[in-house]
Amino acid sequence: MPVPRRTFLAVGLGHLALAQVPDAIRNLRPMTDGVHPITLDERRARIEKARRLMHDHKIGAVFMERGSSMFYFTGTRQVYGLLLPARGELGWIVPATEEQRAHDASKLGGDVIAFPESDGPFRSIAKALKDRGAAAARVGLEEQVRFSLFDGVRKELPSVEFVNGDVVTAGCRVIKSKAELALMQRAADVTIEAYRAGLATLHEGMSPGELSGNIAAAYRALGFQGNAAVSFGVNTAFPHGSIQAQKLREGDMILIDDGCSVDGYQSDITRAVVFGKPSARQREIWTLERKAQDAALAAARPGATCESVDAAARKVIMDAGLGPGYKVPGLPHRTGHGIGLDIHEWTYLVRGNKTRLEPGMCFSDEPMIVAGEFGVRLEDCMYITEDGVRTFSKQSPAIDQPFG
């Protein structure tokens, strides 16, 4: 079981005896029971929604390579390419050597279109588009399709207009279903337990890599794969850390960030604590960061714009004399990003983004403050509901209480 909260507070962060370190991880139990993967029926409904969006935007088909969007619609990432047409059968595009793999993966039906590796995929993709009548309309490309593949198909179909397919793929993925939210909730729950166990292993002279490794081990004990980006001291002032070698010292700020995946769905949580007794300045900036995070939550309502959420958090920080805008000391990056199958996906809580929030959208809430000698980031992911916003994880109540 995780280290009890009363023990965590009684001994202080990072002052557990070394003899207890293995137990903090060894005593964890898997959290895999009750995980329900996305069903084939839900994936079929996603395909139908994509087809409605294609019709609305006059797109004849969307092509995607292996990755998150392919997984979203089909449940596999193992096939070379997928052609999702507005009408007709799915087209699984594969090298001839992988034809059996495609047949194994094609639980949703469709045609397996194998191409000789000596020829490459371009002619086969072009033929599949023609066979489905899609070559007479615009063809959407999912955002991660490589330019070299697009260029090869474009040469086969010089009269076809190719467009960004995000209006279809993001148009489906940005709104999460109850099943998706449940998987993301489990990922957040697992991450909190892994962080709790990892922080119980803090000790003087520890390296960021050692703490990161302990958290990864905790994830494995909980039955999942996960990571943690770790920074100590002055390196916490860099939003994504530094490669500079570090050893943990009394009074250091600590940032742990990242998450795990449950059936492909991501968590992303950051906690900021101090090794030992926090200074007055560390408490001041931590408290300001929590107020900015709260302001973003209060602003995140159906119908609000993404940029208004960013502005609400940024105003708290600027009113304290930091900034202005994106300058440091202050908040140098966006307040949050979309999250789902990718840890960073559409859409972003950033100045200039006038996209309106809708129920089912999911974001990180992380208005990091760079104070110069250290940084503080509190990150909890949230989802929009009909009547407001909810978080997947409980916010940190205080600098010495990382878990709500």
In this structure, the strands spanning 59-65 and 375-376 are: unpaired
Cα(164)–Cα(21) distance, integer angstroms: 50
Query: What's the pLDDT at 22?
Result: 52
| Domain stop point among 132, 153, 173 | 173
Whether 359 is covered by a domain: the verdict is yes
12 part of a folded domain: no
Q: Are residues 82 and 216 in the same domain?
A: no
Measured at the CA of 146, the angle between CA 141 and CA 149, to 5 degrees, comes to 80
Last residue within a domain, chosen from 173, 207, 226: 173
For residue 354, the model assigns a pLDDT of: 98
Q: Token pair for residue 22?
A: 């293995």
Domain match, 230 and 108 both? no
Tokens of 261: 């995946």
CATH code of the domain covering residue 115: 3.40.350.10
CB-based contact 85:132 (threshold 8 Å): yes
Neighbours of 114 (CB within 10 A): 20
Beta bridge mates, 382: 363, 391
Do 222 and 132 lie in one domain? The reply is no
Residue 22 lies in a domain: no
d(Cα 272, Cα 256) in Å, to the nearest integer? 7
pTM over 0.85: yes
SS3 75: coil
**Residue 401 within a domain:** no
CA 161 – CA 163 distance, rounded (Å): 6
- CA-CA distance, 128 to 87, in Å (whole number)? 12
Tokens of 243: 């490669």
Same domain, 148 and 193: no
Element (H, E) at 261: strand 261-262
φ/ψ of 247, rounded to 5, equals: -130, 140
Cβ neighbour number for residue 124 with a 10 Å cutoff: 22
- For residue 104, what are the contacts with CB-CB under 8 A and spacing of at least 6? none
Q: Are residues 125 and 222 in the same domain?
A: no
CA distance 290 to 13: 19
Instruction: List per-residue pLDDT tens for the chain, 404 residues long.
Output: 333 332 232 223 444 334 444 588 999 999 999 999 999 999 999 999 999 999 999 999 999 999 999 999 999 998 999 999 999 999 999 999 888 878 877 789 999 999 998 889 999 999 999 999 998 889 999 999 999 999 999 999 999 999 999 999 999 999 999 999 999 999 999 999 999 999 999 999 999 999 999 999 999 999 999 999 999 999 999 877 667 778 999 999 999 999 999 999 999 999 999 999 999 999 999 999 999 999 999 999 999 999 999 999 999 999 999 999 999 999 999 999 999 999 999 999 999 999 999 999 999 999 999 998 999 999 999 999 999 999 999 999 999 999 98
Q: Which residue has the tokens 């300045």?
A: 281
Q: Are residues 186 and 168 in the same domain?
A: no
- Domain identity same for 127 and 185: no
Residue 93 belongs to a domain: yes
The DSSP output letter for 266 is E
Comparing C-alpha atoms, which of 180, 166, 178, 135 is closest to residue 153?
A: 135
Q: Are both 160 and 180 inside the same structural domain?
A: no
Closest to 344 in 3D by CA, of 364, 372, 367, 371:
364
Among 147, 173, 199, residue at a domain's last position: 173
Q: Is the domain of 196 the same as that of 288?
A: yes
Shared-domain flag, residues 115 and 180: no
**How many whole angstroms separate alpha carbon 265 and alpha carbon 381?**
13
- Beta carbons within 10 angstroms of residue 374's beta carbon: 26
Furthest CA-CA distance within the chain = 71
Residue 302 in domain: yes
Q: Are 331 and 367 in contact (CB under 8 A)?
A: yes
Residue 10 falls inside a structural domain: no
242 within some domain: yes
Say whether both 250 and 365 belong to one domain. yes
What DSSP letter does each residue of 198-235 carry, written as one string? HHTT--TT--HHHHHHHHHHHHHHHTS-B--EEEEGGG
Rounded Cα distance, 116 and 357, in Å? 46
- Which class for 70: exposed (0-12), middle (13-18), buried (19 or more C-beta within 10 A)? buried
In a shared domain, residues 280 and 192: yes
Cα separation, 371 vs 368, in Å, equals 10
CATH code for the domain in which residue 182 is found: 3.90.230.10
pLDDT at 404: 82
**Which structural domain, as residue segments, surrounds residue 310?**
176-391
What is the 3-state secondary structure of 139-165?
EEECCCCCHHHHHHHHHHCCCCCEEEC
Task: Check the CA dihedral 72-74-75-80 and report its sign.
Answer: negative
Tell me how many domains the chain contains.
2
Q: Of all residues in the chain, what percent are helix, strand and coil, respectively (each to 5)?
A: 40, 20, 40
CA dihedral 393, 397, 400, 404 (to 10 degrees): -40
Q: Is 258 left (phi over 0), alpha (psi -120 to 50) or beta?
A: left
